[in-house]
Homo-oligomer: A and B are copies of this chain.
Amino acid sequence: MAAVGRLAGVSQVTVSRALSHPEKVSPDTLQRIRDAIEATGFVPNALAGALASKRSHLISALVPSLTNIVYASFIATFSAQLRSHGYQVLLSETGFDTTSEQDLIATHLSRRPDAMLLTGIHHSQQARRSLLGADIPVVEVWDITDSPIDMCVGFNHVDAGRAVANFLYEQGHKNAATITANDERALRRQSAFSETFTQLSGNAVLNSNTGGPASIGAGRRALAHLIDDTGFQRGAVFCSSDLLAHGVLIEARARGLCVPGDMAVMGFGDQDFARDLEPALTTVAIDRLALGSVAAEALLARLVRPDTKQSIFDLGFKILRRASA
């Protein structure tokens, strides 16, 4: 920066100003500085800038999995929104484990992010302490709670499970099964569903857990297991993700079962392919774009005015009735 200044005939400070407050520099000086930057190929050192100004323009984000399109898509929105405000996102995968999340939080905090996004509302005590100590805006997404670390953006998973139970019961189903990935929030929806459905129909729900992440293959295998090993035959199947539901659809067809005639299938998430399946998948829509952008807005608001009050954003959900249930 000093070298650029020398070339433009000004001091380092003026170069700094030309970059961050161009309106405070006279037009011709500005031009000379810009020419000098061009000529030298100067790239400002954001590390030094952050150290001096105590603002890193970095926002850290922790998601369970990058390969899960559900997280990837909302992070894409989140990042784009923040980028347009001059922030960069430092992204890491935590897995579904609060201890590894805790380590990552410490690592991320060492980069002095201006704010942080976490997935879910369950974090280790140590993690909460670090975050509180860091004194930066924090947004927890994909779930809501009355006592967020700072802010939260999401929806109520218990309500969602209940709503699906009511919906399927009202469609006339008396029997139901669930297929759920190994994900705390999905399990919460599952038990809410199960409880409500049993209460309505008087019949127990066959709950199953794939023991891993959601995938088409896992959905196929889960349905096969449900039919072959537990004798499930007719009724509704509520899957914790569209991906599982998709696998269920494939397996059902391979077995000659008619959906929704023999078996109604519901997914969760309204992923882009849901409408393109045969039959089109009935599912629960979550506005993932809104999730990403509301989370970004919330952080930005806090960064501008640290006393911004609203801290709980319930984005809700919507049952999308299509052909499969």
Contact = CB atoms under 8 A, between A and B. Distances in A.
A278 B251 CA distance: 8
Given A47-B47, A110-B46, A276-B217, A130 B41 contact: yes
Contact of A67 (B76, B129, B276): B76
A111 B47 contact: yes
Contacts of A247: 276
A88 interface: yes
Nearest to A90: B90
Most buried by B among A66, A73, A83: A66
The dominant DSSP class at the A interface is: helix
Chain A interface size, as a band, is 35 or more
Nearest to A276: B217
B272 A46 contact: no
Contacts of A48: 51
A91 B78 CA distance: 13
A134 interface: yes
A227 interface: no
Nearest to A75: B66
Interface of A: 41, 43-48, 50-51, 56, 65-67, 69, 72-73, 75-76, 79-80, 83, 88-93, 106-107, 109-112, 129-130, 133-134, 215-217, 220, 247, 250, 253-254, 272-273, 275-278
B217 A272 contact: yes
A133 B43 CA distance: 10
19 contacts: A41-B129, A43-B133, A46-B112, A47-B111, A51-B51, A66-B66, A67-B72, A67-B76, A69-B72, A88-B90, A88-B92, A88-B111, A90-B90, A91-B91, A215-B276, A216-B276, A216-B277, A247-B276, A250-B276
A284 B157 CA distance: 39
Nearest to A49: B110
A47 B56 contact: yes
Contacts of A88: 90, 92, 107, 111
A109 B43 CA distance: 7
Contacts of A129: 41
A89 B89 CA distance: 10
B67 A273 contact: no
Nearest to A42: B133
A45 to B, nearest CB: 6
A167 B42 CA distance: 51
Given A88-B90, A93-B79, A107-B88, A66 B56 contact: no
